[in-house]
Structure 1
Amino acid sequence: MSNDSVQLAPPENEEGKTSPLQNPRVRRILLIAVAVLLIGAVLGFLRYHLYGRFQQSTNDAYVQADAVIAAPKVSGYVDQVFVIENQAVKAGQPLVRIDPRDYRAQAAQFQAQIDVASANAAGVDAEMGEQQAAIARAEADVAAAAADAAFAQAEYVRYQPLAESGAETREKLSQLRNQAALANAKLSAAKASLASAQRRVGTLRAQVRQAQAQGEAARAQLAAASTNVEATIVRASVDGRIGDKTVRQGQFVQAGTRMMSVVPTRDVYIEANFKETQLGLMRVGQPVKVEVDALPGVDIPGRIASISPGTGAQFSVLPPQNATGNFTKIVQRVPIRIAISPGPETRALLVPGMSVEVTVDTRSAKGAADRVREEQERHNARVVR
């Protein structure tokens, strides 16, 4: 065999086969794969740097709604229940009726008190008219007594010189003097009667005001009783669906007793509990993507509506007191309320308590951390100086 033929023979491995790396097609495929991986890595890094690192997500989130508790304002036996569990209701729709007979009787009693007060006021008004006539009669008596007193005094003055000259007897003069004194006494009595009649008017006016005040008090009580009669029908305060109904016909309920809840399913929102380490760039109004576990593949748009002023632990029934025992640092979570905009069909499927996964886009605040840091450094410098 010649040397040329030996050089032209392809190299063989230990098993006598040709290496795949010697194949130009394989080398091209490997180069393309490496290039694709490098490009994918660069694109992934750019995507994370420009987008991914600003996405904050949590699965500690749930659909919520501000349910309204239906409770009676008055106590009594339940006469009728108008709704069933899970029923849709409108605002103002009757839910429960409490036996109204006792409250209607109270309203009738207060109406009777109003009538009595009105009758008393009318009676005093009639007495006022009679008293005005008595005053007029007393004034006439005063006028007559005044005329008699004036005449008697004039007669006494006229006969006094005659008696002194002897033209008339002293007995006649004494008689005229007594008549004048009697007439003056009658005048004083008539004036006293007039004053008494006039004062009686003030007393009657006070009685009228008292009757009117009693009537006003009875009207106020009637208004309260009428309100109680209206309150015997418990109505829905919002549109929604009935849930957790515990009331039954014939049951005695106290005022304020929880009978059922009205869940406003059209006004649902999301309450997401984010770690405190995720809140640095979160701001009200930032866009949110919501994925409901019950609706896989359905993304619901939303926005941050508000951020809680404290962590969930601070508003618990028993807030933690870390100074009273051994301390273990735990990452706290802060509730964030998210307003959502689902379609009509999606909204009909959302029920409070459903689990969701929430992702917040915080790119709108990507420079906020640097601004906060710079502002704090300036503040520290001013404090040191």
Structure 2
Amino acid sequence: MTEATFDAARPDTPTRRPLLHMARRLLPRLGGGLAALLAVGYGLNWWLTGRFIESTDNAYVRADVVTVSARISGYVAEVDVRDNQAVRRGEVLAHIDAAPFRARVDQARASVAAAEADIAVETAAVATLDAQVTQQRSLIGQAEAEAAAADAELRRTSLEWERQRSLSERQVSSQQRFEAAEADHTKAAATLRGAQAALASQRARLAVLEAEQRGKAAACDKARATLQQAQAALALASIDLDNTALRAPVDGLIGQRVVRVGQYVDPGQPLLAVVPHDAYVVANFKETQLGRIAAGQAVTLEVDAFDGEVLHGRVDSFAPASGAQFALLPPDNATGNFTKIVQRMPVRITLDGGQRRAAALRPGLSVVAHVDTRGDASHGR
């Protein structure tokens, strides 16, 4: 390489020096202009959008987790699900040994059958007594007719006896006819007394039958009550038998499974949990941020686990009190050493439908929530 060519290739040759001086003068200006442009862009973005955004990183995914527990006592015979398994509502999760509960159902059915038989017996007895009462009333009617006939015969014989006595005293009629009339009168009186006694007896018999009828009706009512009691016992036994199968209350995923085959369980004992798919977000905003937040406003959610991918939702509702009020030991600020602390208010945020990653949310994940307070606040709090 010649010396002229070498000099031409050097960066600090006289032909390159003006360009270097110009670049050194323009670079600071370009940097300042770019910084000014960025500042203007940031300021414009803050003025148009940023000043309306309320954000918090004190937000977490939540779901209405359902704890499944036994309703009856017994030994677990089968466990049909595993950890983290997806289940549908009504799907069987586990079985409790059903043999003793089937026996109780059979026993209850036998009690129902016995009660129904008792009702049949008592109903037949009531029907028999009803027939007897009806017959007795007929007999009383017959006795009343016989008593009325005897009374009429007594009146006839009395008149005849009086007439024969008058004729006998005047010696118009014979003594024999008078004695016959007197005998007929005495016989008619006796017949009347007999008919009246028979009528009284029939009426007394009716009173006895009516008392028995009331007793049998009461016994029949008692048998019906016993049947209802047996039917209720059968229903309870059937419910207990159905409860030997533990079913999923909602669609979701199985978690916190502690139930095992052979385990003895009691009513109310937690066995596993079902985490539903419809998750939501609870964002704890400072009380100083709540002035412009209202239900219905749009929310952008940054989920830490999704590596920058955002979800969208809406402000649903506000908690009725701050989180501190629901603590086990709520703070009591009526003290001499009071220090004011900014409180947090839980705000529930529902997710918009149709988002691909929404199904991947799990309760407990951390979220950064940004509420656009320019949205529709017509729903109020």
TM-score range, shorter chain: 0.7 to 0.9
Q: Residue type matched to 1:112 in 2?
A: A
Return the letter of the residue paired with 2:301. Answer: V
Give the structure 1 partner of residue 294 of structure 2. 283
- For structure 1, which runs of at least 5 residues remain unmatched after alignment? 1-18, 367-385
For residue 303 of structure 2, the aligned residue among 292, 295, 298 is 292
- Residue 141 of structure 1 corresponds to 139
**3-state SS, counterpart of residue 177 of structure 1:** helix
Displacement of 1:244 in angstroms is 0.5
Q: 1:168 and 2:178 equivalent?
A: yes
What's the counterpart of residue 53 of structure 2? 55
Q: What is residue 243 of structure 2 aligned with on the other side?
A: 231
Cα gap change, 1:168 to 1:31, in 2 (>3 Å): same
Give the C-alpha shift of residue 301 in structure 1.
1.5
Distance (whole Å) between structure 2 residues aligned to residue 110 and residue 364 of structure 1? 63
Q: Distance in 2 between matches of 1:206 and 1:342?
A: 64
Determine which of 152, 155, 161 is the counterpart of 1:154. Answer: 152
1:256 is aligned to: 268
List alignment gaps of at least 5 residues for structure 2: 1-16, 166-176
Alignment of 1:74-223 (within 5 A): 74-164=72-162, 165-166=164-165, 167-169=177-179, 170-223=182-235
Q: Which amino acid aligns with 1:104?
A: R
The aligned length equals 347
* Partner Cα separation in structure 1 for residue 191 and residue 329 of structure 2: 100
Q: Which amino acid aligns with 1:168?
A: F
How far 1:83 sits from its partner (Å)?
1.0
Equivalent residue, structure 1, for 2:366 = 355
Deviations 1:195-241 (A, max 9, x none): 43244333322322222222122222222221121112110011111
| Shift of residue 112, structure 1, vs aligned partner | 2.4
Q: Which amino acid aligns with 1:43?
A: G
Q: Distance in 1 between matches of 2:270 and 2:73?
A: 12
Superposed CA deviations along residues 301-342 of structure 1, whole A, max 9, x for unmatched, are 222222222221111111111224632322222212222247
> Aligned pair in 2 of structure 1 residues 60, 183: CA closer, same or farther (>3 Å)?
same
Q: For residue 270 of structure 1, give the secondary structure of its aligned residue in structure 2.
A: strand
Q: Is the 8 A contact 2:298 2:375 kept in 1?
A: no
TM-score, scaled relative to structure 2: 0.82
Distance 1:129 1:23, change over 3 A: closer
Assess, with a 3 A threshold, how the Cα gap between structure 1 residues 171 and 64 changes in structure 2: closer, same or farther: same
- On the 8 A contact 1:282/1:365 being kept in 2, the answer is no
Structure 2 letter corresponding to 1:285 = G
Shifted more, 27-36 versus 240-249: the winner is: 27-36
Partner of 2:320: 309
Instruction: Assess, with a 3 A threshold, how the Cα gap between structure 1 residues 277 and 192 changes in structure 2: closer, same or farther.
Output: same
Paired letter, 1:281: R
Mark the CA change 1:316 to 1:179 in structure 2 (over 3 Å): closer, same or farther. Answer: same
Contact 1:300–1:342 under 8 Å retained in 2: no
User: Structure 1 residues 172, 40: closer, same or farther in 2, change over 3 A?
Assistant: closer
Q: Deviations over 1:236-256 (max 9, x none)?
A: 011111101111112121111
Partner SS state of residue 112, structure 2: helix
User: Structure 1, residues 142-193: CA drift from partner, whole Å, max 9, x if none?
Assistant: 2443343334333333332443324232455333322221221112212222
Aligned-residue identity in percent: 40
Q: Conserved in 2, the CA contact under 8 Å of 1:241 and 1:263? A: yes
